[in-house]
Chains A and B, each alone.
Chain A
Amino acid sequence: MNDQHTTGAEPFRLAVVSGGTSDPSSTRMLADRIASRVGALAGERGGAVAVDVIDLRGLASEITTAIVSQLMGPKMTRAIEVLGRADGVVASAPVYKAAPSGLFSSFFHVLDNDLLIAKPVILAATAGTARHALVVDEQMRSLFAYLRTMTVPTSVFAATEDWNSSELGERIGRAAIELLLLMESGFAEQVRSESWKHYQHEYGSAGGTELDIDLGTDLMRLATGGAAPPRRKE
Chain B
Amino acid sequence: MQFGIFSVSDITRDPVSGRTPSEAERIDAIVKIAVKAEEVGLDAFAIGEHHNPPFFSSSPTTLLAHIAALTERLVLTTATTLITTNDPVRIAEEYAMLQHLAKGRMDLMLGRGNTAPVYPWFGQDIRQGLAIALENYNLLHRLWREDVVDWEGQFRTPLQGFTATPRPLDDVPPFVWHGSIRTPEIAEQAAFYGNGYFANHIFWPTSHSKRLIDFYRQRFEHYGHGTRKQAIVGVGGQAYIAKRSQDAVKEFRPYFDEAPVYGHGPSLEEFTKGTPLTVGSPQEVIDKTLTFHDAFGDYQRQMFLIDHAGMPLGMVLDQLELLGGEVVPVLRKELASRRDPESADAPTHAGLVQAKYGDGPARQPSPNANRGDNVTGASPYQDGDVEAEYPAIG
Task: Give chain A's interface residues, CB within 8 Å of chain B.
Answer: 64-65, 68-74, 202-204, 208, 211, 213, 215, 217, 219-220, 222-225, 227-228, 230-231
Known A-B contacts A65-B265, A227-B153; the reply to A71 vs B275 at CB < 8 A is: yes
Q: Which residues of A contact B203 (CB under 8 A)?
A: 69-71
Q: Which residues of B contact A220 (CB under 8 A)?
A: 185, 188
Q: A69-B266, A213-B215 are in contact. List 20 more A-B contacts (CB 8 A).
A: A65-B266, A65-B270, A68-B262, A68-B264, A69-B203, A69-B262, A71-B270, A71-B271, A71-B274, A203-B211, A211-B211, A220-B188, A222-B131, A222-B138, A223-B185, A223-B189, A228-B134, A228-B135, A228-B154, A228-B155
Closest CB in chain A relative to B348 CB, distance in Å: 26
Closest to B273 in A: A74
| Interchain CB contact (< 8 A) of B134 among A70, A74, A219 | A219
> For the complex, what is the distance from the CA of A230 to the CA of B131, rounded to whole Å?
11
CB of B130 within 8 A of chain A?
Answer: yes
Report whether A204 and B208 are in contact in the complex, using a CB–CB cutoff of 8 Å.
Answer: yes
Closest CB in chain A relative to B318 CB, distance in Å: 27
Report whether B264 and A204 are in contact in the complex, using a CB–CB cutoff of 8 Å.
Answer: no
CB of B55 within 8 A of chain A?
Answer: no
Q: Which residues of B contact A211 (CB under 8 A)?
A: 211
CB of B192 within 8 A of chain A?
Answer: yes
Closest to B262 in A: A69
Known A-B contacts A203-B184, A225-B138, A228-B155; the reply to A219 vs B130 at CB < 8 A is: yes
> For the complex, what is the distance from the CA of A222 to the CA of B128, rounded to whole Å?
13
Q: Which residues of B contact A227 (CB under 8 A)?
A: 153-154
Q: Which residues of B contact A64 (CB under 8 A)?
A: 265
Report whether B182 and A224 are in contact in the complex, using a CB–CB cutoff of 8 Å.
Answer: no
Closest CB in chain A relative to B10 CB, distance in Å: 16
Query: Is chain B's binding surface mostly helix, strand, loop or mixed?
Result: helix
Task: Give chain B's interface residues, CB within 8 Å of chain A.
Answer: 128, 130-131, 134-135, 138, 141, 153-155, 182-186, 188-189, 192, 203, 208, 211-212, 215, 261-262, 264-266, 270-271, 274-275
Report whether A224 and B211 are in contact in the complex, using a CB–CB cutoff of 8 Å.
Answer: no
> For the complex, what is the distance from the CA of A203 to the CA of B184, rounded to whole Å?
7
| Interchain CB contact (< 8 A) of A213 among B128, B154, B184, B274 | B184
Q: Which residues of B contact A69 (CB under 8 A)?
A: 203, 261-262, 265-266, 271
Report whether A230 and B154 are in contact in the complex, using a CB–CB cutoff of 8 Å.
Answer: yes
Q: Which 8 pairs show the lowest CB-CB distances between chains A and B?
A: A69-B265, A68-B265, A223-B189, A69-B262, A222-B134, A228-B154, A224-B192, A65-B266
Closest CB in chain B relative to A90 CB, distance in Å: 29
Q: Which residues of A contact B264 (CB under 8 A)?
A: 68
Closest CB in chain B relative to A216 CB, distance in Å: 12
Closest to B264 in A: A68
Closest to A202 in B: B182
> For the complex, what is the distance from the CA of A220 to the CA of B192, rounded to whole Å?
10
Residue contacts A-B, CB under 8 angstroms, 21 given? A69-B203, A69-B262, A69-B266, A71-B262, A71-B266, A71-B275, A203-B184, A204-B208, A208-B208, A213-B184, A213-B188, A217-B185, A219-B185, A223-B134, A223-B188, A223-B192, A224-B188, A224-B192, A225-B138, A228-B134, A228-B153
| Interchain CB contact (< 8 A) of B274 among A72, A219, A223 | A72
Query: Is chain A's binding surface mostly helix, strand, loop or mixed?
Result: loop
> For the complex, what is the distance from the CA of A203 to the CA of B215, rounded to whole Å?
12
Known A-B contacts A68-B265, A71-B203, A72-B274; the reply to A215 vs B131 at CB < 8 A is: no
> For the complex, what is the distance from the CA of A227 to the CA of B154, rounded to whole Å?
8
> For the complex, what is the distance from the CA of A72 to the CA of B203, rounded to whole Å?
10
Closest CB in chain A relative to B221 CB, distance in Å: 15
Q: Which residues of B contact A217 (CB under 8 A)?
A: 185
Q: Which residues of A contact B154 (CB under 8 A)?
A: 227-228, 230-231
Closest CB in chain A relative to B192 CB, distance in Å: 4
Q: Which residues of A contact B135 (CB under 8 A)?
A: 222, 228
Report whether B186 and A223 are in contact in the complex, using a CB–CB cutoff of 8 Å.
Answer: yes
> For the complex, what is the distance from the CA of A72 to the CA of B273, rounded to whole Å?
11
Closest to B135 in A: A228
Report whether B265 and A215 are in contact in the complex, using a CB–CB cutoff of 8 Å.
Answer: no
Closest to A73 in B: B270
Closest to A77 in B: B274
Q: Which residues of B contact A74 (CB under 8 A)?
A: 274
Closest CB in chain B relative to A227 CB, distance in Å: 7
> For the complex, what is the distance from the CA of A213 to the CA of B182, rounded to whole Å?
11
| Interchain CB contact (< 8 A) of B265 among A71, A203, A222, A223 | A71
Closest to A212 in B: B184
Closest CB in chain A relative to B183 CB, distance in Å: 7
> For the complex, what is the distance from the CA of A231 to the CA of B215, rounded to whole Å?
29
> For the complex, what is the distance from the CA of A208 to the CA of B130, rounded to whole Å?
21
> For the complex, what is the distance from the CA of A193 to the CA of B185, rounded to whole Å?
24
Closest CB in chain A relative to B153 CB, distance in Å: 6
Q: Which residues of B contact A231 (CB under 8 A)?
A: 128, 154
Report whether B182 and A225 are in contact in the complex, using a CB–CB cutoff of 8 Å.
Answer: no
Q: Which one of A74, A222, A231 has the highest number of Cβ atoms from chain B below 10 Å of its Cβ?
A: A222
> For the complex, what is the distance from the CA of A207 to the CA of B86, rounded to whole Å?
34
Closest CB in chain B relative to A175 CB, distance in Å: 36
Known A-B contacts A219-B134, A220-B188; the reply to A203 vs B182 at CB < 8 A is: yes
Closest CB in chain A relative to B151 CB, distance in Å: 11
| Interchain CB contact (< 8 A) of B188 among A65, A68, A215, A230 | A215
> For the complex, what is the distance from the CA of A65 to the CA of B268, rounded to whole Å?
12
Q: Which residues of B contact A72 (CB under 8 A)?
A: 274
Q: Which residues of B contact A222 (CB under 8 A)?
A: 131, 134-135, 138, 185
Q: Which residues of A contact B184 (CB under 8 A)?
A: 203, 213
> For the complex, what is the distance from the CA of A231 to the CA of B124, rounded to whole Å?
13
